[in-house]
Amino acid sequence: MAAVAVGKAAGAAYGHGESSGGSGGFLGPRVPAEVEAMARGLQEVGKETFRRLLKVTVNALEGKDCKDSVKLIAESTDLSEEQLAFLISGMYTLLREALRLPLSTFKQEVFKEDLKELRRPVSEGTALMQASRLPNVQDFKWRVDVAISTSSLARALQPSILMLMKLSDGTAHRFEVPVAKFQELRYNVALILKEMNDLEKRSILKIQD
Amino acid sequence: MAASVVPETDSIRRAVLLLNAVDPGRFPRLLSRLLQRLHLKAETSFSEEEEEKLQIAFSLEKQDLHLVLEAISFILEQAVYHNLKPASLQQQLQSIHLDQDKAEAFANAWAAGGQETIEKFRQRVLTPQKLETIGWQLNLQMSASTQAKLKSPRAVLELGVSNEDSKNLKKVFVEFSHQELFEFYNKLETIQAQLDSLT
């Protein structure tokens, strides 16, 4: 069944402007050569073998090392090395492109269900691949101090804030924030939130694709 | 009566003698200049040129000039530390035999700029790193190499953190999604509630 689903996906991807909506299918205006080769090669592949190939491909997408698994498949089936290469590279490309699209546009329900059978939900696959981005805050710790007395002031009674920010790229930043700067930070964050809200309400975001 | 804020050490006595001999005309200006720069951590010494001009203006030798400047700075720092009232400062200075007109000049300069200087000292922080600047940018991410058709708003916060050792500002870039920024804002609100409970 999975083979049929992948076949259907490959077929739908043969967009060329003739597919539904004329958008060219999710593989773009030209189907990659490896996907075409894979679609042809799938005819001879059994269900069990296909399942194993699919699993290997997903592992590869997640960045895991699959040399051993591929070797195992090669030994247990009578597919030639060349055929295996075509199949795996085609499936890899197909899956990678499919995972780019948000769920609302991708209509191959059967394909998704088959992925679930392998216990690899589509959303998980998407989450695994992070595009390049600036670090975000992983851990944020703070404390409020009041300086009672300092070497320059017998009675200071000055509050101050100490922040520790751990970012997702592993760096940690500890710094003091004077109260006035803290107000500025709070004001700016509130301002950004307001702008985000305004942005999300605008019509450009309501266009469904 | 409060304990003497300015101890009568030898160098202080000598400084008082020199101060009393100094021309009172330009004295107030010197005082307010020193008061304004008191809070700066770096050596607030005058430049070579300025020192020479001062030497001539007050007819003091280089060593004596240094002593006088240091004594004035010390007196002012003590005034800051104890948060003295101008009248109290004048009284203290007169009790170590500073001439009345000079003591009055001190009191006047302190009355004019004292509170401001104290406030500047309050703002001084001991930690090496301090948040200096805040900048931000709101982007709408349309797609990425791993994901198409996104339309997700992302905010980038640029925090300028100064380091005591180096003069440059370290720029820390942090990215937030809407949800992440909202959570961050809630934490800031908690901090604010704590600050409010202090007053």
Question: Are residues B117 and B32 part of one domain?
Answer: yes
Question: Are residues B59 and B103 part of one domain?
Answer: yes
- d(CA A21, nearest CA chain B) in Å: 16
Q: Is residue B5, in this structure, part of any structural domain at all?
A: no
Chain A residues whose beta carbon lies within 8 Å of the beta carbon of residue B129: 173-176
> pLDDT value at position B62?
83
Q: Which of B77, B115, B147, B179 to mutate to test the interface with A (most CBs of A within 10 A)?
A: B147
Question: Are residues B38 and B97 part of one domain?
Answer: yes
DSSP A118-174: TT--HHHHHHH-PPP----EEEEEEEEEEE---SS-SS--EEEEEEEEEETTS-EEE
Q: DSSP assignment, residue B133?
A: E
Give the number of other CB atoms < 10 A from CB of residue B194.
Answer: 14
Question: Are residues B104 and B21 part of one domain?
Answer: yes
Question: Are residues B109 and B137 part of one domain?
Answer: no
Which chain B residue is nearest to residue A96, measuring alpha carbons?
B146
Question: Are residues B118 and B135 part of one domain?
Answer: no
> pLDDT value at position A194?
94
Give the number of other CB atoms < 10 A from CB of residue B182.
Answer: 13
- For residues B51, B52, B58, B61, the Cα torsion angle rounded to the nearest 10 degrees is 90
Q: How confident is the model at residue A22 (pLDDT cuts 50, 70, 90)?
A: very low
- The parent domain of residue B60 ranges over 10-126
Q: Is residue B26, in this structure, part of any structural domain at all?
A: yes
> pLDDT value at position B49?
80
Chain A residues whose beta carbon lies within 8 Å of the beta carbon of residue B88: none
Give the number of other CB atoms < 10 A from CB of residue A204.
Answer: 9
Is the predicted pLDDT of residue B193 greater than 90, yes or no? yes
Q: How confident is the model at residue A142 (pLDDT cuts 50, 70, 90)?
A: very high
Kindly determine whether residue B195 and residue A195, on different chains, have CB atoms separated by under 8 Å. Answer: no
Mean pLDDT, range A119-132, rounded to an integer: 47
Q: Is residue B1, in this structure, part of any structural domain at all?
A: no
Who contacts B164 (Cβ-Cβ below 8 Å, separation ≥6)?
B128, B129
Kindly determine whether residue B185 and residue A133, on different chains, have CB atoms separated by under 8 Å. Answer: no
When CB atoms are compared, the residue of A165, A179, A188 closest to B134 is A188
Is the predicted pLDDT of residue B55 greater than 70, yes or no? yes
Q: How confident is the model at residue B171 (pLDDT cuts 50, 70, 90)?
A: very high
Q: Is residue B39, in this structure, part of any structural domain at all?
A: yes
> pLDDT value at position B164?
74
When CB atoms are compared, the residue of B83, B154, B182 closest to A193 is B182
Q: Is residue B36, in this structure, part of any structural domain at all?
A: yes
Q: How confident is the model at residue A12 (pLDDT cuts 50, 70, 90)?
A: very low
Domain end: B65, B96, B126, which one? Answer: B126
Going from N- to C-terminal start, the domains of chain A cover: 33-119, 137-201
- For A106: left if phi > 0, alpha if psi spans -120 to 50, otherwise beta; the answer is beta
> pLDDT value at position B181?
95
Is the predicted pLDDT of residue A48 greater than 80, yes or no? no
Say if CB A49 and CB A73 are below 8 A apart.
yes
> pLDDT value at position B51?
80
Kindly determine whether residue A176 and residue B180, on different chains, have CB atoms separated by under 8 Å. Answer: no
pLDDT tens digits for range A175-193: 999 999 999 999 999 999 9
Question: Are residues B93 and B77 part of one domain?
Answer: yes
Mean pLDDT, range B30-59, rounded to an integer: 78
Token readout for B96 is 């170590």
Kindly determine whether residue A177 and residue B130, on different chains, have CB atoms separated by under 8 Å. Answer: yes
When CB atoms are compared, the residue of B123, B174, B182 closest to A136 is B174
Measured between alpha carbons, how far is residue A27 from residues A8, A10, A113, A176 in Å? 13, 9, 20, 51
User: Which residue stretches of chain B are H helix?
Assistant: 10-21, 27-36, 48-58, 62-82, 86-95, 100-123, 178-198
Is the predicted pLDDT of residue B169 greater than 50, yes or no? yes
Kindly determine whether residue B121 and residue A153, on different chains, have CB atoms separated by under 8 Å. Answer: yes
What pTM, to 2 d.p., does this model score? 0.63
Say whether B6 sits in a helix, a strand or coil: coil
Q: Is residue B4, in this structure, part of any structural domain at all?
A: no
Who contacts B181 (Cβ-Cβ below 8 Å, separation ≥6)?
A189, A192, A193, A196, B155
Number of domains into which chain B is organized = 2
Which chain A residue is nearest to residue B182, measuring alpha carbons?
A193
Is the predicted pLDDT of residue B52 greater than 60, yes or no? yes
Mean pLDDT, range A49-74, rounded to an integer: 76
Is the predicted pLDDT of residue B105 greater than 50, yes or no? yes
Question: Are residues B122 and B54 part of one domain?
Answer: yes
pLDDT tens digits for range B115-167: 998 988 888 777 778 999 999 999 988 888 777 777 888 999 999 998 877 67
Q: Which of A137, A202, A205 to mutate to test the interface with B (most CBs of B within 10 A)?
A: A137
Question: Are residues B62 and B21 part of one domain?
Answer: yes
Question: Are residues B137 and B71 part of one domain?
Answer: no
Is the predicted pLDDT of residue B97 greater than 80, yes or no? yes
- d(CA A128, nearest CA chain B) in Å: 10
Question: Are residues B147 and B117 part of one domain?
Answer: no
Say if CB A91 and CB A84 are below 8 A apart.
no
CA distance B128 to B164: 5
* B101 close contact with A: CB closer than 8 A: no
Say whether B189 sits in a helix, a strand or coil: helix
Question: Are residues B134 and B121 part of one domain?
Answer: no
Q: How confident is the model at residue A54 (pLDDT cuts 50, 70, 90)?
A: confident
DSSP chain A: -HHHHHHHHHHHH--TT-SGGGS--TT-SS--HHHHHHHHHGGG--HHHHHHHHHHHHHHHTT---HHHHHHHHHHS---HHHHHHHHHHHHHHHHHHHHS-TTT---HHHHHHHHHTT--HHHHHHH-PPP----EEEEEEEEEEE---SS-SS--EEEEEEEEEETTS-EEEEEE-HHHHHHHHHHHHHHHHHHHHHHHSGGGG---
Q: Is residue B17, in this structure, part of any structural domain at all?
A: yes
Q: Is residue B3, in this structure, part of any structural domain at all?
A: no
Q: Which of A166, A174, A175 to mutate to test the interface with B (most CBs of B within 10 A)?
A: A175
CA distance A44 to A37: 12
Residue B141, exposed/middle/buried by CB under 10 A (0-12, 13-18, 19+)? middle
- For residues A117, A120, A123, A126, the Cα torsion angle rounded to the nearest 10 degrees is -140
Residue B1 is inside which H or E element, if any? none
Which chain A residue is nearest to residue B76, measuring alpha carbons?
A152
Question: Residue B165 is part of a domain; what is its CATH number?
Answer: 3.10.450
- d(CA B167, nearest CA chain A) in Å: 16
CA distance A98 to B146: 10
Token readout for B104 is 């009055």
- d(CA A136, nearest CA chain B) in Å: 5
pLDDT tens digits for range A79-112: 777 777 777 777 777 777 767 766 555 555 555 5
When CB atoms are compared, the residue of B83, B150, B156 closest to A134 is B156
Who contacts B93 (Cβ-Cβ below 8 Å, separation ≥6)?
B6, B75, B102, B103, B106, B107
Pick from A37-41, B26-30, B39-43 the range whose average pLDDT is largest. B26-30
> pLDDT value at position A111?
57
